[in-house]
């Protein structure tokens, strides 16, 4: 019986998670599955309750589950705290505790939301459905040596971009596995024309590709990839890349869809529970007003079903229900367009539920 650890978090977190759990329970009824839920504290609400953003009980609850569903953390009332105990530390902490080295961010443009897309209509028309797989725990963000100092020539700052073979291999396998569940293509993005680290990256990725003869590997320099994402994103299926390049490209891919309230994400480790969350924050400006779009969180549940719980049909059913809801013209404020009907967070949840 799959056990889900639920981290509602702050701001709109509890509202959007509530709708996602209703959808999951409906999926359970339809497919004869029973999910159990354990709620735990993270972020600002944990600071208020127990004095820190990531209580030990939360870490244990996550470790004892098959998957973790998170709303969002943070809000202005905690902005002036010591950075060491701010809400965001809870998020970084749980990623570290669970060893989540792979971040999967699908950026998909739903046909009904094409008008929100920042790309030219003829480009948007060709479709945008890219999964950026970003390495999350290595590369230049963590490499040593790093530092700031004053030398004879003046002040210098430096970081080290380093990737170990095993780090490249494991993120590569996540990307190839993801491609198998999609359209069977991986594009590895690097800067092998300049960086030694990228040449090792490329060599290891080619080795990983040998393990997946059914998946096609292509390679692209990061500057070109940034351009191709806006020129013709329809050419990409899965993009796999390191921490720094992935940070930039995953935001670029998400931003061009124009719908932040629609985008889910997954962070995966080696065998343990994966963490699923919308890419947006806690939206304190609309919290508690039944205005939040719950679809990114509902789509995060679909990712959870597919990547952690081995239930692809259930995942498809959730995604289809979201598409049908959009085609009925229902919209929360963030994706409202002329000719569509405005609904609140709970009504949007009702509509998806009815479509499952
Ligand atoms: P945000 O994503 O919370 O909000 C940006 C804008 O998008 C706001 O106008 C908000 O109302 C809107 N928005 C976001 N999600 C929406 C949704 N589901 N439905 C409708 N509208 C939505 O980013 P921010 O304002 O920069 O940050 C607010 C707080 O969230 C900060 O404390 C920040 O640190 C935190 N944050 C948390 C996460 C996370 O938990 N993963 C990520 C980013 C920001």
What's the pLDDT tens digit per position in 40-55?
999 999 999 999 999 9
* Mean pLDDT along residues 195-203: 98
Choice among 48, 79, 196, 223 that is catalytic = 223
Pocket flag, ligand 1, residue 75 (CB < 6 Å):
yes
pLDDT at 126: 94
Q: Is 129 in the pocket of ligand 1 (CB under 6 A)?
A: no
Supply the pLDDT for residue 271.
86
Measure 49 CA to ligand 1 centroid, in angstroms: 22
Interval 193-197 mean pLDDT: 98
For residue 75, how far is its CA from the centre of ligand 1 (angstroms)? 9
Q: How confident is the model at residue 217 (pLDDT cuts 50, 70, 90)?
A: very high
122 in active site: no
- Output helix, strand, coil percentages for the chain, rounded to the nearest 5: 50, 20, 30
Vertex 351 angle, CA 350 and 352, to 5°: 95
Does the annotation count 141 as an active-site position? yes
Mean pLDDT of 234-240: 98
- Judged by average pLDDT, the poorest of 223-227, 253-257, 341-345 is 253-257
Report yes or no: 156 and 256 within 8 Å, Cβ to Cβ.
no
For residue 206, what pLDDT is reported? Answer: 98
Residue 233 scores a pLDDT above 90: yes
Q: What percent of the chain has pLDDT over 90?
A: 93
Residue bearing the CA closest to ligand 1, atom 8: 283
Distance 14 CA to ligand 1 centre (A): 14
pTM: 0.93
User: Given this model, what pLDDT does residue 327 score?
Assistant: 95
**What average pLDDT does range 264-273 have in this prediction?**
94
DSSP 130-171: EEEEEE-SSGGGT-SS-EEEEETTEEEEE------HHHHHHH
C-alpha 25 – ligand 1 centre gap (Å): 26
Hey, is 218 helix, strand or coil?
Answer: strand
pLDDT at 282 over 90: yes
In the residue annotation, 251 being an active-site residue is answered as: yes
What the chain holds in terms of domains, given with CATH numbers, is: 1-105+266-356 (3.40.718.10), 118-256 (3.40.718.10)
Is pLDDT of 307 > 90? Answer: yes
CB-ligand 1 contact for 91 (6 Å cutoff) = yes
Q: Per-residue pLDDT averaged across 111-130, rounded? A: 92
Which is catalytic among the residues 3, 129, 141, 350?
A: 141
Q: What is the pLDDT of residues 319-352, one digit of tens each?
A: 999 999 999 999 999 999 899 999 999 999 999 9
Distance from residue 209's CA to the centre of ligand 1 (Å): 37
Q: Mean pLDDT for the chain? A: 96
In terms of Cα–Cα distance, which of 186, 234, 172, 236 is closest to 214?
A: 186
Of 10, 247, 276, 334, which is the active-site residue?
A: 247
Q: Give the lowest-confidence range in 36-40, 91-95, 351-355.
A: 91-95
| Nearest CA-CA partner of 277 in 29, 11, 34, 2 | 11
Measured distance CA(90)–CA(209) in Å, rounded: 35
Q: What percent of the chain has pLDDT over 70?
A: 100
Please check the confidence at residue 258 and state whether its pLDDT lies above 90. Answer: no
Q: Is 88 in the pocket of ligand 1 (CB under 6 A)?
A: yes
Whether the pLDDT of residue 115 is over 90: the answer is no
Q: Which helix (H) or strand (E) holds 29?
A: helix 13-31
Instruction: Find the mean pLDDT for residues 101-117.
Output: 93
* Residue 200: Cβ-neighbour burial (10 angstroms; 0-12, 13-18, 19+): middle
pLDDT of residue 85 exceeding 90, the answer is no
- 223 tagged catalytic: yes
Which pLDDT belongs to residue 63? Answer: 97
d(C-alpha 36, C-alpha 34), whole Å? 7
- Provide the pLDDT for residue 10: 98
Query: Looking at residue 90, what is its pLDDT?
Result: 94
Residue 82 confidence (pLDDT): 87
Predicted confidence at residue 84, as pLDDT, reads 82
State the average pLDDT over residues 77-106: 92
């Amino acid at each position: 019986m799959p056990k889900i650890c639920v981290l509602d978090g702050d701001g709109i977190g509890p509202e959007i998670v509530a709708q996602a759990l209703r959808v999951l329970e409906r999926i359970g009824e339809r497919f004869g599955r029973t999910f159990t839920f354990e709620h735990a504290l993270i972020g600002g609400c944990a600071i208020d309750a127990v004095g820190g953003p990531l209580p030990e009980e939360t870490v244990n609850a996550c470790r004892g589950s098959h998957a973790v569903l998170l709303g969002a953390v943070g809000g202005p009332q905690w902005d002036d705290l010591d950075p060491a105990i701010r809400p965001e530390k809870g998020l970084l902490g749980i990623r570290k505790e669970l060893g989540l080295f792979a971040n999967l961010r699908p950026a998909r443009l739903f046909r009904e939301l094409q008008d929100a897309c920042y790309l030219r209509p003829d480009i948007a028309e060709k479709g945008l459905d890219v999964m950026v797989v970003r390495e999350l725990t290595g590369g230049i963000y963590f490499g040593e040596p790093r530092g700031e100092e004053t030398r004879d020539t003046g002040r210098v700052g430096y970081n080290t971009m380093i990737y170990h073979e095993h780090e490249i291999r494991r993120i590569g396998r996540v990307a190839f596995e993801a491609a198998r569940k999609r359209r069977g293509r991986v594009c590895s993005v690097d800067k092998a024309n300049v960086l030694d680290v990228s040449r090792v990256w490329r060599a290891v990725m080619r080795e990983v590709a040998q393990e997946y003869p059914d998946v096609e590997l292509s390679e692209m320099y990061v500057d070109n990839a940034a351009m191709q994402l806006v020129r013709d994103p329809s050419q990409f299926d899965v993009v796999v890349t390191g921490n720094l390049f992935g940070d930039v490209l995953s935001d670029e891919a998400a931003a061009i869809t124009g719908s932040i309230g629609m985008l889910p994400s997954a962070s995966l480790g080696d065998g343990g529970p994966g963490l699923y969350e919308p890419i947006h924050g806690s939206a304190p400006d609309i919290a508690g007003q039944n205005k939040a779009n719950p679809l990114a969180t509902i789509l995060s549940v679909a990712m959870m079903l597919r990547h952690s719980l081995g239930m692809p049909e259930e995942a498809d059913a959730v995604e289809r229900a979201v598409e049908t809801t959009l085609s009925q013209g229902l919209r929360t404020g963030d994706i409202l367009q002329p000719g569509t009907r405005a609904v609140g967070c709970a009504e949007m949840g009702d509509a998806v539920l009815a479509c499952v």
